[in-house]
Amino acid sequence: MTVALAIVEGDRIETAIEAVIGAGRYAAARHWVPATSGNFSVRIDASRIAITRSGADKGALTRSDVLIQTLDAPLLPGSSAEAALHIRQYTDNPDIGAIFHAHGPYSTVIGHAHLADGAVHLNGWELQKALLGVTSHEATVEVPVFANDQNIDALSHRVAARLGEPVSAQQIRAPGYLLAGHGLYAWGKTPRDATRHLEALEVLFHQMIAFRSYQP
């Protein structure tokens, strides 16, 4: 490898690690990753991602908390089991550049409440326009909901199968899904997109819950 190529390679890894650390800090400041929960990943290139290790405080991540994982290799020592969910999505969708997973209170509660429906539907909210492909509050946006599962391989197959199916007519699928009673996965082409989607969905679920509990 030439020196110039080595510098580009180092920069790519560096940028991805910094984006992971920044995302963790951002989510922790909003109380969406309590008690070391959540995990954050950013694509380096076609075959590698930078991803948080298991058990790290996401508000105080250091470089040693971020692993460089090759997509078609076994999980590295210290990986979160949920890294398999990230890897499957990056492998299936080359357009995804970042995946952020948080345990925000409203995402966690609303997924639990809608498990039997298999989805939460957003309609009538201005903030839904922060989601990729949504241009109107009148659109109906589907956020898939899956039962939580400690068998991450089985869960990852269920998620991949559902995300591979077309969404029903007149609906747009959100760049995110819920694990009931567990939390939210959101993604985007860039870390900035994934952050916007994570925040928009958590706040939309907060608005829905507030609306339902409000008694004029």
State residue 68 phi and psi, 5-degree precision.
Answer: -100, 105
Closer of 183 and 191 to Zn ion (Cβ): 183
In the bound state with Zn ion, the residue whose beta carbon lies nearer, of 75 and 167, is 75
Distance in Å, CB of 89 to Zn ion, minimum: 14
Which of 86, 128 has the CB closer to Zn ion?
Answer: 86
Listed in sequence order, the residues at least 6 apart from 123 whose beta carbon sits closer than 8 Å to its beta carbon are 137, 138, 139, 140, 141
Q: Judge whether 19 and 42 are in contact, CB under 8 Å.
A: yes
Residues that bind Zn ion (CB under 5 A): 183
Choice between 13 and 152, CB closer to Zn ion: 152
| Nearest distance, CB of residue 70 and Zn ion, angstroms | 22
CA distance 100 to 72: 20
Nearer to Zn ion (CB atom), residue 55 or residue 133: 55
* Closest-approach residue to Zn ion (CB): 183
CB of 111 to Zn ion, least distance (A): 11
CB of 39 to Zn ion, least distance (A): 7
Pairing of strands 176-179, 183-188: antiparallel
For the record, the structure tokens of 76 come out as: 């590295």
β-strand partners of 214: none
CB of 134 to Zn ion, least distance (A): 25
Q: Which residue is it, tokens 């008690």?
A: 35
